[in-house]
Amino acid sequence: MRTETVNAADFAKLFDGIAAEVNAACLRGMKTTIEKIKTEMDKPGKPITYPVQWDSEKQRRAFFSTNGFGRGIPTKRTGAYLAARSITAVENGYLMRNTAPYAMFVSGGSYGNTQSRIHRGRWNKLNDAIDAGLAGMKADILSELKA
């Protein structure tokens, strides 16, 4: 007759190993998700439509009195908005941010309520990209767990 003895320390060691693997898979899945969100947000916006949908008369006057906010009229895209977006690893996840001072007016911010009328329907909204990414995050993590 064969007898095996397993103690609590053996189980604890096993569970610690499993927890570490699950945590690593979750982080990889989260990275996949945030990269998908960034890819969606990195799509250039469509060209301006006319008549321009100004947020206010004050905005329209400011644009023309500052020669297109200092960028000329007609304003030419520089790529700075797209280049200002980055992903950084942080404890237990990832941070995506856009350091362009006007980013929230182009993307609508994380809640989607600050997008300028000028950019509506032309530039992707951050909150829509986040919602789509989060909807697929479970699949991304499960994929990493199976790998």
For CA atoms 45, 47, 108, 124, give the dihedral sign. Answer: negative
pLDDT digits (tens, 9 = 90+) for 5-46: 667 777 777 777 788 889 999 999 999 999 999 999 999 999
In the predicted model, residues of the chain with pLDDT beneath 50 are: none
Output DSSP code: residue 113.
Answer: -
- Asked if 81 and 147 touch (Cβ cutoff 8 Å), the reply is no
What pLDDT, on the 0 to 100 scale, is given for residue 13? Answer: 78
Residue 51 CB neighbour total at 10 angstroms: 5
Asked if the bond preceding 101 is cis, omega within 30° of 0, the reply is: no
Cα 92 to Cα 86: distance, rounded to the nearest angstrom: 17
Write down the residue that tokens 């982080």 correspond to: 27
What pLDDT, on the 0 to 100 scale, is given for residue 12? Answer: 77
